[in-house]
């Protein structure tokens, strides 16, 4: 009786372990088919030293306008993540250099201020983003859209934002080239 339970358990374990072997191959084939013939910007970083870019996608649909709108919005969301991350990093660095260690309570309000400023800048810059390219997958019909905003426009928008202090405007504008240049360097890295 004990041997039959062990045999059943061994068969059950073999069945479970064999279930996952084809999934990885199938997934790799699906991904290869999806991106067959795709331009580099679809599968890699499209940002350059002069542009901050994001890629958005939308599944195939009969409503082409809705696909395009969805893909564009998702591309803008990607840009907002990049800008928000970089602006927050710049402001955090600036804040850490200007706040002394005795001002612990001010640092909490400074973090909130950094988040607010980052959101304000991001929202303003996104209004100037444009669609630069689009591509449709032959495999699934998914629409991919490349959305970009110009670093010079970004700096100009920041310089004209009267609701943030002049010091912060200057710091963000002065460090924008360096911060966003890091993004474009990722494109040059071999995958």
- At 160, is the pLDDT very low, low, confident or very high (cuts 50, 70, 90)? confident
Looking at the predicted structure, is the pLDDT value of residue 25 above 60? yes
User: pLDDT grade, residue 135 (50/70/90)?
Assistant: very high
How much is the pLDDT for 19? Answer: 55
Q: How far is 107 from 90, CA to CA, in rounded Å?
A: 15
What residue segments make up the domains of the chain, in order of their start? 39-188
HEC letters along 123-181? HHHHCCCEEEEEEECCCCCCEEEEEEEEHHHHHHHHHCCCCCCHHHHHHHHHHHHHHHH
pLDDT number for residue 12 = 52
d(CA 61, CA 55): 18
- For residue range 89-99, list pLDDT tens digits in order: 888 887 777 65
pLDDT band of 102, cuts 50, 70, 90: very low
pLDDT of residue 50: 86
pTM above 0.85, yes or no: no
Q: Which of 42-56, 67-81, 92-106 has the lowest mean pLDDT?
A: 92-106
pLDDT band at 188 (very low <50, low <70, confident <90, very high): low
Q: Write down the mean pLDDT value for the chain.
A: 78
Q: Report the CATH number of the 39-188 domain.
A: 3.10.129
Between 24 and 58, name the one with better pLDDT.
58
What pLDDT sits at residue 86? 85
Q: Look at 116 and 14; give whichever has higher pLDDT.
A: 116
- The whole-number pLDDT of residue 153 equals 86
State the DSSP code for 99: S
DSSP 14: H
pLDDT at 189 over 70: no
């Amino acid at each position: 009786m004990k041997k039959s339970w062990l045999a059943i358990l061994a068969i059950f374990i073999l069945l479970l372990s064999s279930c996952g072997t084809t999934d990885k191959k199938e997934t790799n084939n699906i991904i290869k088919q999806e991106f067959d013939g795709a331009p580099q910007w679809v599968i890699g970083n499209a940002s350059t030293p002069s542009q901050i870019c994001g890629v958005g996608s939308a599944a195939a649909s009969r409503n082409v306008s809705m696909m395009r709108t969805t893909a564009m919005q998702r591309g803008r969301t990607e840009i907002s993540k990049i800008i928000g991350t970089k602006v927050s990093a710049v402001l955090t660095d600036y804040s850490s250099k200007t706040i002394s260690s005795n001002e612990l309570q001010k640092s909490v309000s400074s973090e909130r201020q950094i988040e607010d400023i980052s959101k304000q800048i991001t929202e303003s810059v996104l209004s100037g983003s444009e669609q630069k390219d689009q591509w449709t997958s032959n495999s699934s019909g998914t629409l991919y859209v490349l959305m970009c905003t110009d670093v010079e426009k970004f700096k100009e928008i920041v310089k004209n934002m009267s609701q943030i202090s002049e010091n912060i405007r200057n710091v963000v504008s002065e460090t924008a080239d360096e911060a966003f240049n890091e993004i474009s360097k990722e494109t040059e890295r071999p995958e």
